[in-house]
Amino acid sequence: MRFHLHQWLPGLLIFCSFPATAEVLVLIHGYHADGSTWRSHGVMQGLQANGWVDSGDYFPSPTGSAHRGPRRQSDKIAITVTLPSEAPIPYQSMVLKHHLNRIKQDFPDQMILMAAHSAGGVVARYYLVHHSDADIQALFTIASPHLGTAAAEIGSITSDSPLGEAAPMMGLNTVNRSRGLYEDLKRERPGTLLFWLNRQPHPEMTWVSLVRKEEIIGLERLIVPAYSQDMQNIPALGPRALSYRVPGDHELNHTDGILLADMIRYLIPTQQD
């Protein structure tokens, strides 16, 4: 299914209604970001305007996961997690596992949903494929490179070139620190992580892609092309995934919070249904 959300959602609001239930939305950031990105880009504010409560951030600690900020209880709880965003996908997934284990302890017996931006969407899928019993209700991905991106290949070439050797002197240490991540996000072909991941069994749950339009030309379009953002193009998912074209460039924005709130309200059955 492929829809233009701005065209069908107003009508759907009239005909659909589900009762509220206890839900925890875990927000997973992308490359060169952290948990605070969801707030600085206005997404958390968009969620709060629709009844969600900001319950802080989980970040890596010697014990696995620690919490900062207010830990509020509500029927609709939004939580951010901070991951080592320059690390390879499997390592980020391991850190995500620690955070989710802690979140489930702090908010027991509640429905867990995940929303992820950019590379965070691949991290989330890697986690779900390896933990099919994690009891996650849904994953929403925003502009995620599920089939890879040429930008990662450019980064990989750069890190292996003389420029990579000179990067520390130019203040570009991230090029070398991100080498493993670039490898993981290369366009899928036999032998790549994404080729393997996209053919593994995916658990039965709700999978939703928010696909940015390709109206912006230049480098922004290079980051993640639309076909790569669409989980319907993942062989292991295909029509099991929902896909919606939404406005915006690669970055998060306030509207994403509003879209997530609406989609959760009308696509996710609650525990009271």
Q: Which residue has the higher pLDDT, 135 or 176?
A: 135
Dist. CA 247–CA 142, nearest whole Å? 11
Mean pLDDT of 163-172: 41
Q: How many CB atoms lie within 10 A of CB 144?
A: 30
pLDDT in tens, 84-104: 999 999 999 999 999 999 999
pLDDT in tens, 186-201: 999 999 999 999 999 9
The type of residue at 28 is I
Quote the tokens at residue 222.
């290079």
pLDDT at 7: 47
| pTM, to two decimals | 0.86
CATH of domain 2-146+206-267: 3.40.50.1820
Residue 167 reports pLDDT greater than 60: no
Dist. CA 41–CA 86, nearest whole Å? 20
Q: What percent of the chain shows pLDDT beyond 90?
A: 70
Decide: residue 21, CB within 10 A, 0-12 exposed, 13-18 middle, 19+ buried. Answer: middle
What's the chain's average pLDDT?
A: 85
Q: How confident is the model at residue 213 (pLDDT cuts 50, 70, 90)?
A: confident
